[in-house]
Structure 1
């Protein structure tokens, strides 16, 4: 029969909002997959228009959180295997080849952690616990569910896990403007998880950020990455400080309706 339906073995899942600078390279890196599903949270830039060159499976919805978007992408996937990535991530050619070889084998595990190569201002960061930064990104659909966290959510895969050797590329901080935006956004999302947090004290605003800086710059050897390592360590300190400041605000300031 000539018009047999093509078997979908692997689905690529991507979530995005206003990612016109990243989306093309992201989708191009998974164009070898049997299908690409993009969940877009009503982008106001050219994200969707660019994505149409790579897939017709684009789901546009109101923003309801990262976990909701990932769940929506998973529900609509037809592949037995899933590879998940964000718009600022790329599947390297080496990783692509490794996945191809893996899926042609037998007795596979249910999920595979992939090392992630994180960039900060165009430099790969190998210190500060930024590498290998293993992420569960390749897995059997039937074994997966989505964690319901506000931020740093991901897929939970039941059963045996393995590790791949080649990298997922992550352009996480491409400029300082977007870095400060992320600090503001993620610190706001993170405090929603501190439901029963202790009252914030003055010393918390000093001790915890300083400890975060020293931990990343000294203990986790950020100094080996020079100025970039110092700035990454400062970012961790700033994120920590913003988290405590916003938590104090939540505990002490009554906002007017």
Structure 2
């Protein structure tokens, strides 16, 4: 049997007639390779996030002898392990995080008006988020924005959207919130942050609560956006008391970290939620939780709370398991694991920072 040699001219002729589709063949061969590489990359990141931090802890705590330094050595080893975890988690975020598409999410209907509601918020340099936040408040009779010295376009944007903008020098979260509350004129008030927005379901629940005389407040859910996506509906979301009758609520000015009002009277709960974008990126989430942990530790130290070495040791693994299993963040896969680990480290931070405060300020 003999084979005729195909010239380049004959080859081009066959391809021009559609009898030999090289582009399709090339795409079909490349596509599986791309998918395989993507799957391998995901697997590598997955394994790195799960195991590299543990190896880092073992390296410092056991092999480098920090076990001999007591609780200080344990804390240092955990910090090194967490740093390794964040490097891997940010790599995962780089490849798999999605941009926030505001139009995908439910927002309050501005055509529905409420004449008995004041919405208030405290701000500083929130130009990137305040427009979206305020666009879900236009249905309220009054919107009060208290600025503590923005150097960007936050104030201008708030005024353009019809908010009453006031200045008050920063004195801490509770003081600033209390000042904003006192500037409201309506009987019902809603506390909001510039990185949140009210959903249509929550708007309906707010109006429904205001129409019922037996309640003085409404406790709703907070759904955090993380890596561009909201937490799964299967997760256990935190409750926040945001709507209340103005004269029934007040902030505790002795606290440093808490900015939730103390409200008296009968409380109503709802499964409706607001979206929160402040924790969307890993860096922002870590920075904010570090700030809150520091404030909480100082607050507990001033209240003469005692530190516990046992809590420092067990806090991280216990809270990690709680977040994954009880709060059900495990249903979100690796995104849920990263979110759980960051919050578990926040719980650990509060304990060891209380320990640090004790020895730094004991005189």
The change in CA–CA distance for 1:69 and 1:55 in structure 2 (over 3 A counts) is farther
Q: Give the ranges of 4+ consecutive aligned residues of structure 1 lying more than 6 Å apart after TM superposition.
A: none
Q: Give the CA deviation at 1:8.
A: 5.1
The change in CA–CA distance for 1:157 and 1:208 in structure 2 (over 3 A counts) is same
Q: Does 1:136 pair with 2:241?
A: yes
The change in CA–CA distance for 1:144 and 1:244 in structure 2 (over 3 A counts) is closer
Which protein shows a greater Rg? 2
Q: Contact 2:199–2:275 (CA<8 Å) still a contact in 1? A: yes
The change in CA–CA distance for 1:106 and 1:252 in structure 2 (over 3 A counts) is closer
Q: Does 1:24 pair with 2:126?
A: no
The change in CA–CA distance for 1:35 and 1:175 in structure 2 (over 3 A counts) is same
Higher mean C-alpha deviation, range 21-30 or range 153-162: 153-162
Q: Give the CA deviation at 1:67.
A: 0.6
Q: 1:36-47 to 2 correspondence within 5 Å? A: 36-47=143-154
1:124 to 230, 233, 243: 230
CA offset digits 1:100-153 (Å, max 9, x no partner): 3544x353411111222222222222489641x222111111222123322232
Separation (CA, whole Å) in 1 of partners of 2:144 and 2:218? 20
- What's 2:259 paired with? 153
Separation (CA, whole Å) in 1 of partners of 2:267 and 2:352? 38
Separation (CA, whole Å) in 2 of partners of 1:35 and 1:16? 17
2:327 to 191, 195, 220: 220
Larger proportion of strand: 1
Q: Give the CA deviation at 1:31.
A: 0.9
Separation (CA, whole Å) in 1 of partners of 2:212 and 2:356? 54
- What's 1:114 paired with? 220
Q: Give the CA deviation at 1:189.
A: 0.6
- What's 2:40 paired with? none
Q: Give the CA deviation at 1:34.
A: 0.6
TM-score (norm: length of structure 1): 0.86
Query: How many residue pairs end up in the alignment?
Result: 246
Q: Give the CA deviation at 1:97.
A: 3.3
The change in CA–CA distance for 1:224 and 1:35 in structure 2 (over 3 A counts) is same
Q: Does 1:185 pair with 2:304?
A: no
Q: Give the CA deviation at 1:172.
A: 3.5
Give the 3-state SS of the residue equivalent to 1:45 in structure 2: coil
Separation (CA, whole Å) in 1 of partners of 2:334 and 2:212? 46
Larger proportion of helix: 2
Separation (CA, whole Å) in 2 of partners of 1:204 and 1:157? 31
Separation (CA, whole Å) in 2 of partners of 1:175 and 1:90? 17
1:60 to 162, 167, 171: 167
Separation (CA, whole Å) in 2 of partners of 1:160 and 1:234? 35
CA offset digits 1:73-123 (Å, max 9, x no partner): 1111001111111111111123223433544x3534111112222222222
- What's 2:282 paired with? 176
- What's 2:47 paired with? none
TM-score (norm: length of structure 2): 0.62
The change in CA–CA distance for 1:191 and 1:164 in structure 2 (over 3 A counts) is same
Q: Contact 1:144–1:155 (CA<8 Å) still a contact in 2? A: yes
Q: Contact 2:224–2:280 (CA<8 Å) still a contact in 1? A: no
Q: Which runs of 5+ in 1 are unaligned?
A: 1-6
Q: Give the CA deviation at 1:165.
A: 4.3
